[in-house]
Structure formats: C-alpha cells, structure tokens
Amino acid sequence: MGKKATWEDWNSQKALYWLKLEEARISRSFLTKLVTNMEGAIKTVVMQFLSSARGKESLGGKSFQKLVQSQLGNILGDTDSSSAVKDMMKGLDDNQDGKVSFQEYLTLVGYLANSLSEQKAQSSAAGGP
C-alpha cells in the first residue's frame, strides 16, 4: 500500500500546483473560492457524521436514519421508509457489525456524488441547465 498524502505533502507542493494552474490560465481567485467551497463541503460531510455519531465511532440504526432523513431527503428517495433506510444501511455495512462506520458513510457520500455528477452530465448533454 502506498504512502497516504498528508497536509504537509500538499503544503509543500502548493506553489507547484498554483504555478501549473496559472499556466493553464485559471485565475487564482476563482481557484481559491473553489477550494474554499470544497473545503467547506468536506468539513460539512465530516461534521454531519460526527454530530450524528455523538462521540461514537459509528452510526447505529436510529442515528443513521435521522441523518439520512434530515440531510439527504432531497437527494435520496424513500428516506421516510424505515425499511428502505435499513436496507441502505445493510448495503453500506461492509463488516456487518450493524453500524455504519465513517468509511462506510463515505461510500454513501461517494455514491451520491457520482450519481449527481452523472445526472448533471446527462442534463448537459441533453442541452439542459
């Protein structure tokens, strides 16, 4: 397994990244705003999990259902159906411990992000907004 990237790695390479991006004629202020938005989105994803887990390492059934219903109801269908949410939880629960760990939660976030990206691409290809 390769070395995981760290904040120090990013920080040491930041000037090189900015230079390459400037060469591509992308404005620094636009990228700063984009990075800020992305950072905010990542922080929100993490904080929603931590808040829902209430100091625990994973989400139990009730905590997961509350999170899905309160935060993902506009993206996911059937969030009002407890059986549908339980089925979703079982599908995410790779280690079958009856809980959703942060890594398993990220699987859901990744799936949703991918689905939204595909919808946007299809909409753009069809000439939509």
Residue 92 · residue 105 · CB < 8 Å: yes
pLDDT, tens only, 70-90? 999 888 888 889 999 999 999
Q: Helices 28-53 and 102-125, interaxial angle, to 10°?
A: 140
Q: Where are the alpha helices (DSSP H) in the chain?
A: 7-23, 28-53, 61-71, 82-92, 102-125
CATH of domain 8-122: 1.10.238.10
Model confidence, pTM? 0.68
pLDDT, tens only, 39-71? 889 999 999 999 999 999 999 999 999 999 999
91-105 mean pLDDT: 96
Higher pLDDT, 127 or 24: 127
pLDDT, tens only, 2-40? 455 555 665 566 666 666 656 666 666 776 676 778 888
What residue has token string 């309160």?
A: 70
Please report, for the chain, the start and end positions of each structural domain, with discontinuous segments joined by +: 8-122
